[in-house]
Chain A
Amino acid sequence: MKLLKELMKNPMSCTGLLFVVALALIAIFAKELSPYDPQAIDTYHILEAPSQSHLLGTDALGRDVLSRLIYGTRISLLVGIVAVGIATAIGTVLGAIAGFYGGVVDMVIMRLVDVMLCFPTIFLIMAVIAFLEPSIWNIMAVIGLTSWMGVARLVRAEFLSLRSRDFVLAARVIGASDWRILFGHILPNAIAPVIVAATLGVGSAILTESALSFLGIGVQPPTPSWGNMLTAGKDNIEIAWWLSVFPGLAILITVLAYNLLGEGLREVLDPRTKRS
């Protein structure tokens, strides 16, 4: 509650938070909010500009863009949040262990991170998507599995510098177990960058999905995601601006909102950035 109050104090994080909540509501109530069936095809009314009957126009198959955008919220947010959840979980645990124990453990984990970081993500995603079909679950898993290294390095660096701090030494002296020190003492002090990275990550995952869609290996139609709507609209961007402008704005606003929220969270959570 206190956290919420602090977030609301800052105009930027307040805006971010409001948008994030609003988007979540749209995703949850997609069915109720959509004026049309997002899959309903009408070849007599293709590529119609925004009008009273279709507020955001229609796409190349005559489907209602607004309804697809609303359903797309569900898909895109899901991709973003789940992918980041996976990446953060893996990254935090591995980074914490590496940074805390050091030595051989650190070396092995960091070698793994190095190897993973040397692959261009697109190639890894490509190979995995070729194995599995590009269903949204696989895409989330793949984005998550290929984006944890940054978090791991962040957390490790944080642990590396924190593990010799006084409060850790103090905890050791009083005989706290390794796990307790790891997750009870150091992690809370290292959580700020993780949270910031995670909120930035939601946006980044949504952007990754749109990049994959651009390459044709993102969420596959007819399931609407903002990425594949944007890609489908790009070839006709000049005559059917509504096909690329609205999904583009949707991505823009969402990513921005998550990032502003992340910034705000950092201010509130990080004990070191607090002004006092």
Chain B
Amino acid sequence: MEIITFIAKKLLWLIPTFFGITVISFTVMHLAPGEPMALQANFNPKMTPEMRERLRRAYGLDKPLYVQYARWLKGLVTFDLGRSFSPDRRPVWDKIKERLPVTLLINCLSMLLIIVVSVPLGVAAAVRHNSPFDHITTVLVYLGYAAPSFWLALLAMILFGIKLEWLPISGLHSLMGYSAMSTMEKVMDWARHLVLPVTVSAVGGLAGLSRYMKSSMLEVLRQDYILTARAKGLPENRVIYRHALRNALLPLITILGLSVPGLIGGSVIFESLFAIPGVGQLMWSSVMARDYPVLMGNLVIVAVLTLLGNLLADIGYALADPRVRKGIEGEQ
């Protein structure tokens, strides 16, 4: 029962946070210099001032900021994110909808890869603390972290795409003959294309998580109840995997909840390098072109995803550690 009230309270808190985010984004965005404009390498000599004023009016930019915000908010209530300022004037949700799945797919896969590799790595390093294994894996994961991601990606492209010709360089699937493939072949084709982006984006995340894992494991292993368990003569494996790991996984939950915006931010780089049509690229180009509705739409999506992630983290924490729940309840 108390867990339900806890979740309900958390949910209520999301609402002011969410509006805080939209107000701040809207203001920052409109205060930033520049105005909606297609990106061009050169000036277009035929673009007269009247035309640009005309465009401004068409976008409603001649209205005061609060009017624009109210209008945007009104749309949001009915799940209408407005239309893009770019010349195609497409509904924002259409633009996001067609790109979100790819970005989520890649981020989820790479997150999964990170967890699968770094949790066992962290545990093993903690158990064999200060052994050569610990040292070597430490250096290795940090090497992965320390290499600038776009540099690593390029080197991987050259090695696996050009020199070895094992993997395709960019894109989501083959261009030619794709439609003639069987479902199985299509999955394989996607998989081949996704290996590089997923792996390269995971490499940078290994260090963070495996280090957190190791240190929280070390801490847990030193707790009284573990000592007690050991003293009781329980098998070492059982001590580690039943008792210690469960508690050591706690900080992991928070880290995962926090990593959503970072991952989407990082998607900008991977998506442009590997030519993947995802949300990161959309967001970046909307910042550059000052396409306010698209940018706001993206921020809302990212904010919702992040808030959800945080909520899940909080719930997870509360479920796993009754002390936290009590503590928070006690305060309110």
Task: Judge whether A263 and B138 touch: CB under 8 Å.
Answer: yes
A207 to B207 CA separation, bound complex (whole angstroms): 14
Closest to B152 in A: A248
Contacts of B34 in A (CB 8 A): 130
* A122 in contact (CB, < 8 A): yes
Contacts of B287 in A (CB 8 A): 123, 126-127
Task: Judge whether A121 and B150 touch: CB under 8 Å.
Answer: no
Task: Judge whether A121 and B215 touch: CB under 8 Å.
Answer: no
Q: How far is the CB of A209 from chain B (nearest CB, A)?
A: 10
Known pairs A150-B258, A266-B215; A215 contacts B268 (CB<8 A):
yes
Task: Judge whether B32 and A256 touch: CB under 8 Å.
Answer: no
Q: How far is the CB of A229 from chain B (nearest CB, A)?
A: 11
Contacts of B327 in A (CB 8 A): 160
Interface residues in B229-271 by Cβ distance below 8 A to A read 254, 258, 261-262, 264-266, 268-269
Q: Which of B135, B218, B265, B303 has the most CB of A within 10 A?
A: B265
Interface residues in B1-53 by Cβ distance below 8 A to A read 13, 16-17, 20-21, 24-25, 28-29, 31-34
Task: Judge whether A12 and B303 touch: CB under 8 Å.
Answer: no
A118 to B29 CA separation, bound complex (whole angstroms): 15
Contacts of A127 in B (CB 8 A): 28-29, 32, 287
Task: Judge whether A130 and B299 touch: CB under 8 Å.
Answer: no
Task: Judge whether B138 and A153 touch: CB under 8 Å.
Answer: no
Q: Which of A153, A231, A248, A260 has the most CB of B within 10 A?
A: A248
Q: Which of A160, A227, A251, A252 has the most CB of B within 10 A?
A: A252
Q: How far is the CB of A23 from chain B (nearest CB, A)?
A: 13
* B112 in contact (CB, < 8 A): no
Task: Judge whether A117 and B32 touch: CB under 8 Å.
Answer: no
Task: Judge whether B150 and A120 touch: CB under 8 Å.
Answer: no
Contacts of A118 in B (CB 8 A): 17, 21, 261, 302-303, 306-307
* A190 in contact (CB, < 8 A): no
Interface residues in A92-145 by Cβ distance below 8 A to B read 102-103, 106, 111, 114-115, 117-124, 126-127, 130-131
Contacts of A114 in B (CB 8 A): 17, 307, 310
Partner of A273, one of B148, B218, B266, B331: B218
Contacts of A263 in B (CB 8 A): 138, 211
Interface residues in A228-276 by Cβ distance below 8 A to B read 230-231, 234, 237-238, 244, 248, 251-256, 259-260, 263, 266, 272-273
* B284 in contact (CB, < 8 A): yes
* A214 in contact (CB, < 8 A): yes
Interface residues in A179-234 by Cβ distance below 8 A to B read 196, 200, 203, 207, 210-211, 214-215, 227, 230-231, 234
A211 to B28 CA separation, bound complex (whole angstroms): 22
Task: Judge whether B331 and A119 touch: CB under 8 Å.
Answer: no
Task: Judge whether B283 and A115 touch: CB under 8 Å.
Answer: no
Q: How far is the CB of A179 from chain B (nearest CB, A)?
A: 21
Task: Judge whether A211 and B149 touch: CB under 8 Å.
Answer: yes
Contacts of B165 in A (CB 8 A): none
A248 to B158 CA separation, bound complex (whole angstroms): 15
Contacts of B208 in A (CB 8 A): 200
Task: Judge whether A120 and B261 touch: CB under 8 Å.
Answer: yes
A234 to B150 CA separation, bound complex (whole angstroms): 9
Q: What is the interface of chain B mostly: helix, strand, loop, or mixed?
A: helix
Contacts of B299 in A (CB 8 A): 119, 123
Number of interface residues of B (CB under 8 A): 56
A211 to B135 CA separation, bound complex (whole angstroms): 28
A200 to B142 CA separation, bound complex (whole angstroms): 10
Contacts of A203 in B (CB 8 A): 145-146
Task: Judge whether B147 and A252 touch: CB under 8 Å.
Answer: yes
Task: Judge whether B331 and A103 touch: CB under 8 Å.
Answer: yes
Closest to A209 in B: B148
Task: Judge whether B154 and A234 touch: CB under 8 Å.
Answer: yes
Partner of A248, one of B147, B211, B222: B147
Known pairs A121-B262, A260-B139; A251 contacts B147 (CB<8 A):
yes
* B65 in contact (CB, < 8 A): no
Known pairs A115-B20, A115-B24; A106 contacts B148 (CB<8 A):
no
Interface residues in B143-194 by Cβ distance below 8 A to A read 143, 145-151, 154-155, 158
Task: Judge whether A215 and B284 touch: CB under 8 Å.
Answer: yes
Q: How far is the CB of A27 from chain B (nearest CB, A)?
A: 18
Contacts of A11 in B (CB 8 A): 135
* B219 in contact (CB, < 8 A): yes
Q: Which of A114, A121, A251 has the most CB of B within 10 A?
A: A114
Interface residues in B296-332 by Cβ distance below 8 A to A read 299, 302-303, 306-307, 310, 327, 331
Known pairs A12-B139, A259-B207; A211 contacts B148 (CB<8 A):
yes
Contacts of A200 in B (CB 8 A): 208
Q: How far is the CB of B147 from chain A (nearest CB, A)?
A: 5
If A120-B302, A127-B32 are given as contacts, then 20 extra A-B residue pairs at C-beta distance below 8 Å, sorted by A number, are A12-B139, A111-B16, A121-B265, A126-B287, A127-B287, A130-B33, A131-B31, A207-B146, A210-B151, A234-B151, A237-B154, A237-B155, A251-B147, A252-B143, A252-B147, A255-B142, A256-B139, A260-B138, A263-B138, A273-B215
User: Would you give 12 A-B contacts (Cβ < 8 Å), ordered by A?
Assistant: A118-B21, A119-B21, A120-B302, A123-B283, A160-B327, A227-B148, A230-B151, A248-B151, A253-B146, A254-B146, A259-B145, A260-B142
